[in-house]
Amino acid sequence: MSEHLLVEREPGLLTLRLNRPDKKNALTRAMYGGLAELLQQADQDASVRAVLLTGGAECFTSGNDLADFIQAPPTGPDSEVFRFMRALFDFSKPVVAAVSGPAVGIGTTLLMHCDLVYVSREALLKMPFVNLGLCPEFGSSLLLPRLLGQARAAELLLLGAPFDGEQAAAWGLANQVLADGAATLAKAREMALGFQHLAPSAVTDSKRLMRAPGREELRRVIEEEGALFGQRLRSAEAMEALTAFMQRRPADFSRFV
């Protein structure tokens, strides 16, 4: 299991905490693999009634580790990141997210696969896929236009426009905005613990019903996005963007046609 994942167990609740503060909780292959495994185990474990996903009070996640994108890109459907996406997509119990600070890339897109999302006012959410020479992932090309309309989704997905916790809640991407990271974590934990008092199969049946419409289409879109994302990672455009991040300079796409 990755040293960058903290696992806490209390009655009815499994808390998965991303813990790589020096890299703003950037997700490595080992972290994705660990999350996938823990979610699969939790789905089979009757003592777990809900999962709380957090990066702590300061930072949710800066998204996929950009050095990994260059050195160890995902190679196909069995890669850790895709196993994580499938584990979250197929998870039958409630997932509650507590989001503070940056929530970049998959840090934002995964929220659409959680059931309850609490976000701090100063959270910074963005999906800079195109800015990195990439394309949307985890169903965001289908889910965001459906949720927000084409115009707003284009700002977020084509321009990579950032938004804060207030906007996330106003747009329905989050349940509630809270004053700071500590309050966000406390609220998310309180709501997640509440599931231990509910009838477990009534909860999972209801989650399944709520997520059933369009589910197979969404699964197909996630696969299509994943295949294109993998191709784009090997493109010269993405290489320019990733190298620019490492060199702390703006990307220059002027030579591309």
Residues that bind ligand COA (CB under 6 A): 23-24, 26, 62-67, 102, 104-105, 128-129, 132
Which residue type is seen at 131?
A: N
Kindly state the smallest distance separating residue 170's Cβ from ligand COA, in Å: 21
> CA 93, CA 146: separation in Å to the nearest integer?
24
Query: Are β-strands 163-164 and 176-178 bridged in parallel, bridged antiparallel, or unpaired?
Result: unpaired
User: Which tokens hold the place of 192?
Assistant: 């997640």
Kindly state the smallest distance separating residue 233's Cβ from ligand COA, in Å: 10
Kindly state the smallest distance separating residue 64's Cβ from ligand COA, in Å: 5
Q: Which residue's beta carbon is nearest to the bound ligand COA? A: 105
**Of 83 and 126, CB closest to ligand COA:** 126
Kindly state the smallest distance separating residue 255's Cβ from ligand COA, in Å: 21
3-state DSSP assignment of residue 101: coil
Kindly state the smallest distance separating residue 101's Cβ from ligand COA, in Å: 8
**Of 3 and 45, CB closest to ligand COA:** 3
> CA 152, CA 67: separation in Å to the nearest integer?
30
**Of 23 and 219, CB closest to ligand COA:** 23
> CA 105, CA 126: separation in Å to the nearest integer?
6
**Of 34 and 105, CB closest to ligand COA:** 105
User: Which tokens hold the place of 17?
Assistant: 């905490």
Query: Are β-strands 124-126 and 116-120 bridged in parallel, bridged antiparallel, or unpaired?
Result: unpaired
**Of 94 and 128, CB closest to ligand COA:** 128
Cβ-contact 18, 4 below 8 angstroms:
yes
**Of 23 and 86, CB closest to ligand COA:** 23
Task: Work out the burial of residue 254: count CB atoms within 10 Å of its CB; fewer than 13 is exposed, 13-18 middle, 19 or more buried.
Answer: exposed
Per the rule left: phi > 0, alpha: psi between -120 and 50, beta: everything else, 101 is left
Kindly state the smallest distance separating residue 193's Cβ from ligand COA, in Å: 29
